Amino acid sequence: MTRRIEWVHAWLLLLPALVFLFTFTHLPAIRTIIDSFFSTARGRRKSVFVGLENYQQLLDDPTFWKVLTNNLWFALGTIPTSIAIALVMALWVNEKLAGRSFIRMAYFTPTVLPLIAVANIWLFFYTPGFGLFDQIATGLFGTGQHNFLGDPDTALGAVMVVTIWKEAGFFMIFYLAALQTIPPSLLEAARVEGAGRWTIFRRVVFPLLMPTTLFVSVNAVINSFRLVDHLFILTGGGPDNASSLLLFYIYETAFRFWDTAYAATLTVVLLVLLSLLAIGQFFLFDRKVHYK
Amino acid sequence: MFITPLKRTLSAAAIALCASTAASAADVELQFYFPVAVGGAAADTIQALTDEYVANNPGVKIDAVYAGSYQDTVAKVLTAARGGDAPQLSVILSVDMFTLLDEDLILPFDDYATTADDKAWLNSFYPSFMENSQTGGKTYGIPFQRSTPVLYWNKEAFKEAGLDPNTPPATWEEMVEMGKKLVKKNASGEVERWGVRIPSSGFPYWLFQGLTTQNDVILANSDGNKTNFDDPKVVEALQYMVDLSGKHGVMAPGIIEWGSTPKAFFEGQTAMMWTTTGNLTNVRKNAPFDFGVGMLPANKRRGAPTGGGNFYMFKGSTDAELKAAFDFIKWITGPEPSAKWTIATGYVAPRPATWETDAMKAYTADFPPALVARDQLEFAVAELSTYENQRITRIFNDALEAAITGKKSPAEALKEAQEKADAVLKAYR
Amino acid sequence: MMHANAFDRFLNTFGSWALALLWGLPLAFAIWTAIHPAEFEANFELLAPLTTANFIKAWEAAPFARYFLNTFVLVTLILACQFFLGTLAAFAFARFRFPGRSILFGLVLLQLLVMPDILIVENYQTMRFFNLVDTIPAIALPYIASGFGIFLLRQTFMTVPKELDEAARLEGASTLGLLWRVYVPLAKPTYLAYGLVSVSHHWNNFLWPLIITNSVETRPVTVGLSIFAATDSGTEWSVINAATLMTSGPLLIGFLLFQRQFVQSFMRAGIK
């Protein structure tokens, strides 16, 4: 086919997808940035250009800083932990241990359950007094009055636990796939050379899993900013924003306070943060990833 | 989506044409959004009442749309209104009045209360419910599903602690004293049963308003543009609440979950609880012990906030539609329908006339606790309501949560809240 | 990975089981409360009476049948559109040379990062502009051009041997015919893998549907469940968990029945 026709065909094939992509991803992203320089329109007042005023409001907003720090702690707490647990799960499932099917099912089930649904279950677990954790604590230690969700010091941690529980099984699958592509001869060779199990893992298996780790951690980063469903049920962001996350604050600002300009400003921060983290990760891992 | 405004214009034109002959050829169609915040059967009751009205009023069709929670309903209304397709009437939180005014969406009922009968009806509601319904000398909301919090107590626990099971605490001091006697500890010295439980999750400001009213202070002005969070009496009320867990040890520390409060009560985790009168049916059905319901204790005076939803009528509707909507609202707040609604849900009937009907008399004879909330209306005040209400209550809630969890002192937390609220409300003065 | 000795093996078995039981606890609890009356929500007595009352109550309290229908329509709509748009776009990227190809592909990949969930504020305005608020298509539209789908299909299409191309062309196949007759059938595993990922993701999606829907006719099960669970009058765990099981039921049962395929497809979807 001639060059020209090839171009035309290609563009025609791409057009439908591109139209939707632009309408719902690229254009909104640009409009978000633009909107952050205007004020919110209320029924009686129109929207006006305000320059950097929204950003100034952002910097002066203690809730914003609280929410940002929360999200960073949240990312720090959930990403390495869920990846590590996922790796251990994959290693276990990969071996011929007893009840393998059941174990795999148990690990993966959280992934198929909607987060908003399981949040109610976890709400019960965390309830003081007759909640499951307190009942166990009373049984084991005799003390059973912990207010996990109502204490600013533990609320974020409690939310993180739910997230890790939800995520680990999902990441496990990718590690499982990767583990199964490692040629057993490699492991045999290492063992024959007298390497211990831990050394084999550290020197052979883990480096081979690097591409998967990269993929999984980029996913985990995105999810750590995206998963806020359980906040609606567990804490509503409280107490005093101790467990609030950036996307949840954006939702509140846009759809409860109806302050769309400020919400756009917050979204810009989220976009920048995500881009930096994702790109940063690529660079970080690029050096460590070996492709065989 | 484009059809509905077109349809309405056409039907409006048709009505206008026929108006002179005083025979309406087309039906007036009303769309009515309503929220449900207490269990599921309430939606059926609304549907039944709507059907009854339509059956008795040929020429009017009403589409009653269940819109979810209060938040969902106001979101749906705002969305529809912005799209040029607002409903004709809707039940929305009474405290959203200023937001709706700011968005230029609602109409005053005074303009439609033309006859003497209408005017009498407009004035026949309990005053405390009207406080969140009027501003600038006009009435924008008609009370429909309103409530106040009340005190529930476990009579068996009272007996066990050596207290008279038929006498609830009447003052702040009594609540602390009785609370101390009611606290039960287990073998390892941990509290098994608390004296009192005032939930503080989600929207602590509502029950806290009980304490501030009892301390004789108001949280915001009636114009909705100035708050009073750092008033010393408010600080005092917050200190009392914080002391309940701290100094006196009669209430669990930290944020207390609203949703699990009735369950905690049933499980004997608390001897007394503060919660909405809307929970009456739930408690009646599920409490495995004899319980009492009483007014909240007094300090400088008895007091409670009101809560719940009002009817609003919306701009953008035709005159015929608004007339029909007005008529429907007048009917559904009439004694008989209102009695049905109250008995089915546990909300407080907002007009004295309703309580005089046979149905209500029989109901309250059978179940006297239903009268408590009504009797408390004498002492009830407007629920906290201002412009940008959601944001202001969030600021206030955050401050309360900070104080309750001990992260800030009451004075500090409230001062900050007042500053933040001022910054937001400045634009409305 | 070989074990040094039997004790080591035992430790690993024990560990994996302990974790599995821990991980399965929430689901076990949901089942427990759903089949027992409310008094036993917090009291775990083994011989407590069983009941189906919770399921009946949950079913009657909210229009779950309608919610299910909405969700079903939604995920089907999304999947069909994703397949359609993704196949065309992936084919273009895989087999055509044209100016701007790398840039456009980069823009497509950007969507992996800048997900519709992040852009809720602006997407809501867009929907308002098109008067689509509170419709099922409105829930679907931001997702139907899927960067992930295009990426996966492109990878798969790139592995199709060029000889098949030429053979088909010799038989007079048009571009679309080539796509439909040669490439699509060969990519079946990828379609299956991606389909399962997409369905489970969108069945469980909450935030965007919450914002864009306002009525029973459009609400998916996740939003319906959250509304149902959020009443003023106290949390009834037995009923809520019955509702939870009902709403997650289809996916859960599907997963249990097709476990291996499910897992395999997720695995295939993610490698590289």
The winner for highest mean pLDDT among A237-246, B232-241, C261-270 is B232-241
Asked if residue C11 belongs to a domain, the reply is no
Q: How are beta strands B270-276 and B149-154 bridged, if at all? A: antiparallel
Task: Determine, for residues B390 and A44 on separate chains, whether the beta-carbon distance falls below 8 Å.
Answer: no
Task: Determine, for residues C96 and A9 on separate chains, whether the beta-carbon distance falls below 8 Å.
Answer: yes
In terms of C-beta density within 10 A (0-12 exposed, 13-18 middle, 19 or more buried), how is residue C148 classed?
buried
pLDDT of residue C145: 92
Asked if residue C31 belongs to a domain, the reply is no
The DSSP letter of residue B57 is S
pLDDT tens-digit map of C55-89: 988 888 778 889 999 999 999 999 999 999 999 99
- Nearest by CB to residue B405, choosing from A145, A151, A259, is A151
For the segment A240-246, the average pLDDT, to the nearest whole number, is 93
pLDDT reading at A122 higher than 80? yes
Residues of chain C in contact with residue B1, where contact means CB-CB under 8 angstroms, are: 131-132, 135
The shortest C-alpha distance from C76 to chain A (Å) reads 17
Beta bridge partners of B138: B135
| Residue C46 pLDDT level (bands cut at 50, 70, 90) | confident
Residues of chain B in contact with residue A241, where contact means CB-CB under 8 angstroms, are: 398
Q: Which helix (H) or strand (E) holds B308?
A: strand B307-314
Task: Determine, for residues A252 and B201 on separate chains, whether the beta-carbon distance falls below 8 Å.
Answer: no
Nearest to B197 by CA among B298, B254, B271, B266: B271
Tokens standing for residue A194: 């007298």
Return the residue in A67, A256, A259, A260 with the most chain B beta carbons within 10 A, the one to mutate for interface testing. Answer: A256
The domains found in chain B, sorted by start residue, are 3-147+307-374 (3.40.190.10), 149-306+382-428 (3.40.190.10)
Q: Is B22 helix (H, G, I), strand (E, B) or coil?
A: coil
Phi, psi (rounded to 5 degrees) for B57: -135, 80
For chain A positions 121-160, those within 8 Å of chain B (CB to CB) are 123, 127-130, 142-145, 147, 149-152
Task: Determine, for residues C233 and B278 on separate chains, whether the beta-carbon distance falls below 8 Å.
Answer: yes
Residues of chain C in contact with residue B279, where contact means CB-CB under 8 angstroms, are: 232-234
Q: What percent of chain A has pLDDT above 70? A: 96
Q: Which long-range contacts link A56-63 to residues 24+ away (Cβ below 8 Å)?
A: A57/A262, A57/A265, A58/A262, A58/A265, A58/A266, A58/A269, A63/A241, A63/A244, A63/A249, A63/B398
Would you list the DSSP string of B195-260? EEE---SS-THHHHHHHHHHTT--SB-TTSS-B-TT-HHHHHHHHHHHHHHTTS--S-SS---STT
Task: Determine, for residues A238 and B71 on separate chains, whether the beta-carbon distance falls below 8 Å.
Answer: no
The CATH number that applies at residue C122 is: 1.10.3720.10
Return the residue in C60, C127, C214 with the most chain B beta carbons within 10 A, the one to mutate for interface testing. Answer: C214
Tokens standing for residue B194: 């608390």
Residue in the block written with tokens 């069983």:
C50
Asked if residue C8 belongs to a domain, the reply is no
Tokens standing for residue B286: 């599920």
Asked if residue C260 belongs to a domain, the reply is yes
So what's the architecture of A61-288 in CATH? Orthogonal Bundle (1.10)
* Contact in structure between B224 and B385 (CB atoms under 8 Å): yes
User: Is any Cβ of chain A less than 8 angstroms from the Cβ of B424?
Assistant: no
Tokens standing for residue A251: 């939702």
Q: Of A58-67, A68-77, A211-220, which gets the smallest average pLDDT?
A: A211-220
pLDDT of residue C125: 87
pLDDT reading at B396 higher than 90? yes
For the segment B181-205, the average pLDDT, to the nearest whole number, is 90
User: Is any Cβ of chain C less than 8 angstroms from the Cβ of A211?
Assistant: yes
What residue of B is the nearest CA neighbor of C213? B76
Q: How many CB pairs under 8 A join A and B?
A: 93
Asked if residue C54 belongs to a domain, the reply is no
* Contact in structure between A39 and A263 (CB atoms under 8 Å): no
Tokens standing for residue B37: 């915040």
| Residue range of the domain that includes C102 | 64-270
Task: Determine, for residues A275 and C126 on separate chains, whether the beta-carbon distance falls below 8 Å.
Answer: no
d(CA A268, CA A139): 49
d(CA C133, CA C212): 6
pLDDT reading at C233 higher than 80? no
User: Is any Cβ of chain A less than 8 angstroms from the Cβ of B384?
Assistant: no
Query: CB under 8 Å to B311, separation ≥6 — which residues?
Result: B89, B90, B91, B141, B142, B143, B144, B329, B333
The shortest C-alpha distance from B273 to chain C (Å) reads 12
d(CA B404, CA B398): 10
Residues of chain C in contact with residue A139, where contact means CB-CB under 8 angstroms, are: none
Nearest to B326 by CA among B313, B340, B309, B341: B313
Q: What are the angstrom distances between the C-alpha of B136 and each of A289, B101, B103?
A: 69, 11, 16
Q: What are the angstrom distances between the C-alpha of A208 and each of A83, A181, A199, B2?
A: 15, 10, 14, 58
Domain count for chain C: 1
* Contact in structure between A109 and C220 (CB atoms under 8 Å): no
Other Cβ atoms closer than 10 A to B216:
13
Return the residue in B76, B78, B183, B255 with the most chain A beta carbons within 10 A, the one to mutate for interface testing. Answer: B255
Q: What are the angstrom distances between the C-alpha of B77 and each of A72, A128, B111?
A: 36, 38, 22
| Residue B2 pLDDT level (bands cut at 50, 70, 90) | very low
- Nearest by CB to residue C214, choosing from B75, B82, B286, is B75
Domain ranges of chain A: 61-288
Residues of chain B in contact with residue A235, where contact means CB-CB under 8 angstroms, are: 201
pLDDT reading at B38 higher than 60? no
End-to-end CA distance of chain A: 37
pLDDT tens-digit map of B210-253: 999 999 999 999 888 999 999 999 999 999 999 999 999 999 99
Task: Determine, for residues C113 and A111 on separate chains, whether the beta-carbon distance falls below 8 Å.
Answer: no
